[in-house]
Amino acid sequence: MKVLVTGGAGFIGSNLTEHLLKEGHEVRVLDNFATGHIENLLPFFDAFKGCFELQVGDIRNLDDCRKAVEGMEYVLHEGALGSVPRSIKDPITTNDTNIGGFLNMIVASRDAGIRRFVFAASSSTYGDSKTLPKVEDKIGKPLSPYAITKYVDELYADVFARTYDFEYIGLRYFNVFGRRQDPNGAYAAVIPLFVKKLMAHEAPTINGDGEYSRDFTYIDNVIQMNMLALTTTNKDAVNQIYNTAFGERTTLNQLVGYLKEYLGAFDPAIKEIEAVHGPNRLGDIPHSLACIDKAKALLGYAPKYSMKDGLREAARWYWENL
C-alpha cells in the first residue's frame, strides 16, 4: 500500500509509520512539527530508504494537503491538536487545525481518489453521557472545544460518504499510551507526565480525588485497529465509527500504583513516592470505558495488550529512553 500518515512525527503517527514501513508499505508523512518531533522519524530515512518520505507542511493549508495525497492510495489522518486544556485555552487554533485541517484533508483525499480515509476520532465525543460502557451510537453533549472538533470531524466524514461515495473509518481513541509519548510540555498526557515525575523522584499531581477512571489503551492495540481499518474487505465495516480501546477501566489512583510498581522494579525508591492531589480539570469526563463489541464483530479486532501489560512495556521503554 501507499499510505499518507498525517501527524506522522507524533506519538501515534510515528508508531503507525514504523509499523507500515516494517510491513513493506510505502509511507509519506505530512507534519508541521507543532507537536511532533523529527527525532521520531530520523531512523526511517536510512532504514527504509526509497519507501519513506517526509513532507513538511500544514493541514491548515489546502495546497499542502493536495501535494501530500498525490500518488497515495490510503490516508491515516492522525494530524490534530490534542488536549482538552489546550482547546479551552485556545479554542480558535484547535478549531482551525482539527476542523479546518480535517476538511482540507478529506477534500484533498476525495479529489485525489483516495481508496479509504481512516482518521483519529476521540472518546471525548461521549461528553456528558453517563452510560457505561460507551457504545458508539450513544453520545452526550461535548464538554470542551476539543470534543466539539472531533465530533464535527465524524459528521463531515459521514456527509462525504453519503454525498461523494467516499470511504472512511473513524477510530475513537481512548487514552492511548506507549513508547514515544512525549512527557514534556504543558499539555503532556497523564501517563508520561506521571512517569517523568516518578523517575525524577517527584510526587505526581492527580487531578481531583483520583477516582476518575479511564480506558487506557496501549499503542499496539491502536496499531492493530488502524491496520484492520485500512485493510478490511467487509463492506459493512466501512463508513463506521469504532471505539478503539481495551475495554477495561482504571482509576488514576490505581494508575499511579501500577507505575510505582513497574518503575520501582528499576528504582526501588520510586515505590515510596506518594502522589498529591489538585483540583479537577475543566472539561474532563469523569469516567470512560469502551464497549469494543462493534470492532470485534465488524473488523475482527482482538486487542493483545491489557492496560497492565502495556504499562509494563511503556515503563520499560521510558526507563531506557528518558
Indicate which residues carry an active-site annotation: 146
Find where cell 505526581 sits.
Answer: 204
DSSP for 16-83? HHHHHHHTT-EEEEEE--SS--GGGTHHHHHHTTTTEEEEE--TTSHHHHHHHHTT-SEEEE------
Q: Which residues contact 223 (CB under 8 A, 6 or more apart)?
A: 15, 16, 19
What is the Cα–Cα distance from 65 to 158, expressed in whole angstroms?
20
CA distance 103 to 179: 30
**CA–CA gap between residue 17 and residue 7 (Å, rounded):** 10
What are the cell numbers at 228? 484492520
Environment class of 264 (CB within 10 Å of its CB; exposed 0-12, middle 13-18, buried 19+): middle
Spell 285-321 as b/e; 16+ CB within 10 A means b. Answer: bebbbbbbebbeebbebebebbbbebbbbbbebbeee
